[in-house]
Structure 1
Amino acid sequence: MKQNFTVRQGALDGVEAFLIVAQHRSFRRAATELGVTPSAISQAVRALEARVGAALFIRTTRSVGLTEAGERFFARARPAFEELVAASGAARELGQRPAGLLRLTVPRSVIPILLEPLVASFCQTYPEIEVELAASEELVDLAAGGFDAGIRMGQFISPDMVAVRLTKPLPLVIVGSPDYLDRRGRPRRPDDLRGHACLRLRRSNGALAPWSLNDSGRSIEIAVSGPFIAHDFPTMLGAAVEGVGLAQVPGPLATDALGTGKLVTVLEKFAPMTPGVFLYYPGHRQIMPKLRAFIDHVKDHSRAAS
Structure 2
Amino acid sequence: MADYKLDDLAVFVAVGREGNFTRAAAALGISPSAVGQTMRLLEERLGVRLLTRTTRSVTRTEAGEQLFKGLAPLLDSIEEQVDAAIDHSGRPSGTVRITADEFAARYVLWPRLKPLLDQYPDMTIELVTDYGLTDIVAQRMDAGVRLGDTLAADMIAAPIAPPLRLMTVASPEYLARHAMPRVPEDLPRHRCINLRLPTHGALYQWEYAKDGRDIRVRVDGPLIMNSVFQILQGCLDGVGLAQLPEGLVDGHIKQGELVEVLADWCEPFEGYHLYYPSRRQHTAAFRVVLEALRINPLA
Alignment correspondent of 1:76 = none
Structure 2 residue aligned with 1:107: 101
SS of 1:186's equivalent?
Answer: coil
Instruction: Please state if 1:218 is matched with 2:213.
Output: yes
What residue ranges of structure 2 are gaps of 5+ in the alignment? 5-78
Q: Provide the rounded CA distance (Å) in 1 between the counterparts of 2:81 and 2:242.
A: 53
Shift of 1:270: 0.3
**Could you tell me the TM-score, scaled by structure 1's length?**
0.66
- Contact 1:109–1:232 (8 Å) recurs in 2: no
The count of aligned residue pairs is 219
Unaligned runs of 5+ in 1: 8-86
CA distance in 2, matches of 1:163, 1:169: 15
Q: Is the 8 A contact 1:199 1:246 kept in 2?
A: yes
8 A Cα contact 1:212 1:272, kept in partner: no
Matches within 5 A, 1:137-148: 137-148=131-142
Residue 244 of structure 2 aligns to a residue in which SS?
strand
Letter in 2 for 1:250: P
Q: Deviation string for 1:205-248 (max 9, x for gaps)?
A: 11111110113221111111111111122221221111111111
Q: Show the 5 A alignment for 1:246-257.
A: 246-257=241-252
After superposition, the CA RMSD in angstroms is: 2.2
**Deviation sequence 1:225-278 (CA, Å, 0-9, x none):** 111111122221221111111111121121222222211100000003221111
Pick one of 259, 272, 275 that aligns with 2:254.
259
Pair 5,180 (structure 1): closer, same or farther in 2 beyond 3 Å: farther
1:170 matches 2:164: yes
Q: Where in structure 2 are the equivalents of 1:22-101 lying within 5 Å? A: 90-96=82-88, 97=90, 98-101=92-95
Report percent identity of matched pairs. Answer: 33
Once residues 229 and 208 of structure 1 are traced to their aligned partners in structure 2, the CA distance between those partners, rounded to angstroms, is 8
Q: Distance in 2 between matches of 1:91 and 1:116?
A: 24
Determine if the alignment matches structure 1 residue 292 to structure 2 residue 284: no
Within the candidate set 121, 125, 132, 2:119 is matched to 125
Is the Cα–Cα contact under 8 Å of residues 83 and 283 in structure 2 kept in the other structure? no
Q: Distance in 2 between matches of 1:286 and 1:95?
A: 11
Greater Cα radius of gyration, structure 1 or 2: 1
CA distance in 2, matches of 1:162, 1:168: 18
Say if 1:194 and 1:89 are closer, same or farther in 2 by CA, change over 3 A. closer
TM-score (norm 2): 0.68
CA offset at residue 6 of structure 1? Answer: 7.0
Instruction: Give the conservation status (yes or no) of the 8 Å contact 1:106–1:137.
Output: yes
